[in-house]
């Protein structure tokens, strides 16, 4: 029951965190691999997924006027707008592309919000079911703890994943999920231009199109990249805060019963590492800019601490699975009234 409940809830969290971009590749295994990488990222490094949702450019968040909405902005970020250039389709890349679509520099520039929603494979009912399951899981963990029943490490890990899901619902509420195909625009008759720039007389805001992408960019690279603003203290701050929250939730198990004392100590050290690593990275960045004045210092410190954080995350996963071999007897007891609360 514990395994089934946690597995289902983690599946819900991963599904909620994988809003894939529209893949130009038509090969099913390429799309499957790309979505698989997104799922692994959401499971092993959920803080990256949360920050990915948080850091969409402001112009995409606020792309709203009489005709354009936030959904238009998200759809553009997903690679949902393409230009038909002869036999080839070229993906429009934000941030300035929406303005050109508004200015009707291309044919058929108007696209309704409902058209983009129809290209999505999820609706409001699906999102409602995800929310119900997450709320029920959090409720039953709190109920078990209030009745002094043992909570497993697997439940703590699932709780940490569930805690990062509400921000995704908030930031991606208007974003189409798993859109299957893009919306095609057609260029008006314009002079011949280069393959990477259209309308050169608008040099400062020229529409750019993505070049032909290789296997890595279409799969793993595509999952690790996105059209978001990754620069500045704003981006670093968002990542550090989410990282600390995710690591701090694992400290709930500080005094839990472990199969061995060594496993308890390792869990505590790994959990503290997840909390302190981003703080050390932030301090290193500040010192690197103000004291060392060496551009390489922040990058080295960030890389080292990120690797340490990844190792700590894997250690927690191993301990979580290892703890299932010897669970307290109260783990198998349930709070009866929670079974009457609607859930999946």
Residue 142 tokens read as 């709190």
Residue 79 pLDDT grade (very low, low, confident, very high; cuts 50, 70, 90): confident
- Which is more confident, 228 or 241? 241
Q: Residue ranges of the domains in the chain? A: 231-326
| Torsion, Cα of 104, 109, 110, 111 (10° steps) | -150
- The per-residue pLDDT for 271 is 92
Q: What is the pLDDT of residue 192?
A: 47
What does the pLDDT average to over 189-203? 44
Quote the DSSP letter at residue 254: G
User: Is residue 270 within 8 Å of 319, Cβ to Cβ?
Assistant: yes
Confidence of residue 133 (pLDDT cuts 50, 70, 90): confident
Confidence of residue 235 (pLDDT cuts 50, 70, 90): low
Q: Are 273 and 244 in contact (CB under 8 A)?
A: no
The pLDDT value recorded for residue 68 is 64
Q: What's residue 283's pLDDT?
A: 75
- Is residue 268 scored above 90 in pLDDT? yes
- Is the model's pLDDT at 66 over the cut of 70? no
269 pLDDT exceeds 90?
A: yes
The pTM assigned to this predicted structure is 0.74
Tokens of 178: 């798993």
Summarize pLDDT for 7-60 with one digit per residue, the tens. 888 888 888 777 777 776 667 777 778 888 888 888 877 877 777 777 665 545
pLDDT digits 0-9 by tens, 277-309? 877 777 766 666 666 555 565 667 667 777 888
**Dist. CA 218–CA 183, nearest whole Å:** 19
Average pLDDT over residues 258-272: 93
Strand partners, 84: 89, 186
Kindly report the three-state secondary structure assignment for every residue of 129-154: HHHHHHHHHHHHHHHHHHCCCCCCHH
Residues 6+ apart with CB under 8 A from 163: 138, 245, 246, 249
Residue 156: the pLDDT is: 92
Q: pLDDT-based confidence at 250, cuts 50/70/90?
A: very high
d(CA 44, CA 39): 9
Q: How far apart are the first and last CA of the chain?
A: 13
Per-residue pLDDT reduced to its tens digit, 97-122? 556 565 666 665 666 665 665 555 55
**Residue 329 confidence class, pLDDT cut points 50, 70, 90:** confident
Calculate what percentage of the chain has a pLDDT beyond 90: 8
* Average pLDDT estimate for 161-177: 79
Asked if pLDDT for residue 197 goes beyond 70, the answer is no
Long-range contacts, stretch 42-46, CB < 8 angstroms, 24+ apart: 42/13, 42/14, 42/17, 42/18, 43/10, 43/14, 43/161, 44/313, 44/314, 44/317, 45/310, 45/313, 46/13, 46/17, 46/160, 46/161, 46/164, 46/246
Would you state the structure tokens that stand for residue 46, as one six-digit string? 């959920």
% pLDDT > 70, the chain: 64
Average pLDDT over the chain, rounded to whole? 73
Residue 140's nearest CA partner among 234, 254, 287, 5 is 5
Band (pLDDT 50/70/90 cuts) for residue 266 is very high
Looking at per-residue confidence, does 66 or 45 come out higher? 45
Q: What is the pLDDT of residue 219?
A: 41
Tell me how far apart the alpha carbons of residues 73 and 159 are, in angstroms, rounded to a whole number: 31
């Amino acid at each position: 029951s514990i395994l089934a409940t946690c597995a289902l809830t983690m599946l819900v969290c991963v599904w909620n965190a994988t809003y894939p971009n529209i893949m130009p590749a038509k090969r099913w295994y390429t799309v499957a691999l790309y979505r698989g990488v997104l799922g692994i990222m959401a499971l092993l490094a959920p803080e990256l997924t949360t920050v990915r949702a948080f850091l969409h450019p402001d112009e995409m968040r606020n792309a709203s006027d009489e005709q354009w909405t936030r959904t238009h902005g998200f759809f553009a970020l997903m690679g949902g707008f393409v230009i038909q250039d002869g036999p080839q389709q070229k993906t429009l890349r934000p941030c300035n592309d929406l303005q050109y679509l508004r200015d009707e520099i291309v044919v058929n520039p108007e696209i309704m919000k409902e058209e983009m929603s129809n290209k999505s494979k999820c609706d409001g009912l699906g999102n409602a079911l995800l929310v119900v399951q997450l709320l029920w899981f959090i409720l039953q963990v709190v109920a078990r703890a209030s009745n002094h029943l043992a909570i497993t490490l697997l439940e703590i890990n699932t709780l940490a994943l569930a805690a990062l899901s509400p921000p995704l619902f908030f930031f991606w509420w208007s974003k189409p999920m798993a859109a299957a195909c893009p919306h095609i625009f057609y260029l008006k008759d314009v002079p011949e231009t280069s393959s990477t720039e259209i309308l050169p007389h608008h040099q400062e805001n020229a529409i750019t199109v993505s070049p032909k992408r290789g296997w890595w960019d279409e799969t793993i690279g595509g999952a690790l990249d996105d059209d978001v603003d990754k620069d500045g203290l704003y981006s670093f701050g968002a990542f550090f805060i989410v990282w600390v929250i995710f690591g701090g939730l694992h400290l709930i198990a500080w005094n839990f019963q472990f199969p061995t004392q060594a496993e308890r100590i390792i869990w505590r050290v790994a959990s503290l590492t997840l909390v302190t690593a981003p703080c050390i990275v932030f301090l290193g960045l500040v010192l690197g800019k103000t004291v060392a004045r060496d551009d390489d210092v922040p990058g080295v410190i960030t890389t080292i601490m990120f690797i340490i954080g990844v190792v700590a995350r894997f250690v927690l996963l191993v301990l979580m699975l290892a703890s299932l071999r010897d669970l307290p007897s109260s783990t198998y007891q349930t709070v009866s009234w929670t079974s009457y609360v609607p859930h999946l």
